[in-house]
Amino acid sequence: MPTFSKGGAERDPLWGKAERLVSDAETAAESMFGTFSKYYPELLWADEGKWQFLTTAAALYVASLKLQEDVPQKRGAALGKLIEGGLPDHMARAIGNCRRFVERSVGPETDPLTFEWAVGSWVLSGLFLKKPPADRGWLAAAIGEALVKTFGAWWR
């Protein structure tokens, strides 16, 4: 019996998660803006649409990284193609930019807190078009932590 087919979400819960990933990432980004802007008023100066785009891209990056780690290669590749097939080119480029930023910032092997900081720093760097000041590291870490907690275990 094939794992993937039309209606694969009914037979394979990971297929359903792959189908929902982008919309759930967009919903999480929207929700996070409301929550974070209450506690970090500097976000109110930001373009909410840009926040939505960057935070969604960062969420998709985290989920795609975990897909490679948590799902066997052949199955993970099929799920990855399903996700990538529905992405506009500019979103795919943003996910790649996030990946390169994180890899340059912390390298491939790092502790979870540093990884979270790097993901959140990418969002803030794109949002404000500059590297966040050192005293805003806690904001970057909070954004990254929320994304990693939500999308780091997506495939489990």
Tens of pLDDT, residues 31-64? 999 999 998 888 888 999 999 999 999 999 999 9
> Confidence class of residue 106 from pLDDT cuts 50, 70 and 90?
confident
The whole-number pLDDT of residue 73 equals 87
Checking if the pLDDT of 7 tops 70, the result is no
Contacts of 100 by beta carbon, 8 Å cutoff, 6+ apart:
none
SS3 state at 156: coil
- Tokens at residue 12, please? 């394979």
Checking if the pLDDT of 2 tops 70, the result is no
Amino acid at the residue 101 = F
Q: Mean pLDDT score of the chain, rounded to an integer?
A: 87
Taking phi first (over 0 means left), then psi (-120 to 50 degrees means alpha), and beta for anything else, what does residue 15 get?
alpha
Checking if the pLDDT of 124 tops 60, the result is yes
- Tokens at residue 3, please? 């794992």
The whole-number pLDDT of residue 150 equals 95
> Confidence class of residue 1 from pLDDT cuts 50, 70 and 90?
very low
> Confidence class of residue 108 from pLDDT cuts 50, 70 and 90?
low
SS3 state at 110: coil
In angstroms, rounded to a whole number, what is the distance separating the alpha carbons of residues 63 and 68? Answer: 9
Residue 5: phi and psi, rounded to 5, are -165, 180
Checking if the pLDDT of 130 tops 80, the result is no
SS3 state at 133: coil
pTM: 0.88
The whole-number pLDDT of residue 109 equals 64
Checking if the pLDDT of 113 tops 90, the result is no
Task: Compute the C-alpha angle 86/83/112, nearest 5°.
Answer: 135
In angstroms, rounded to a whole number, what is the distance separating the alpha carbons of residues 45 and 106? Answer: 28
DSSP state of 5: S
* More confident of the two residues 93 and 156: 93
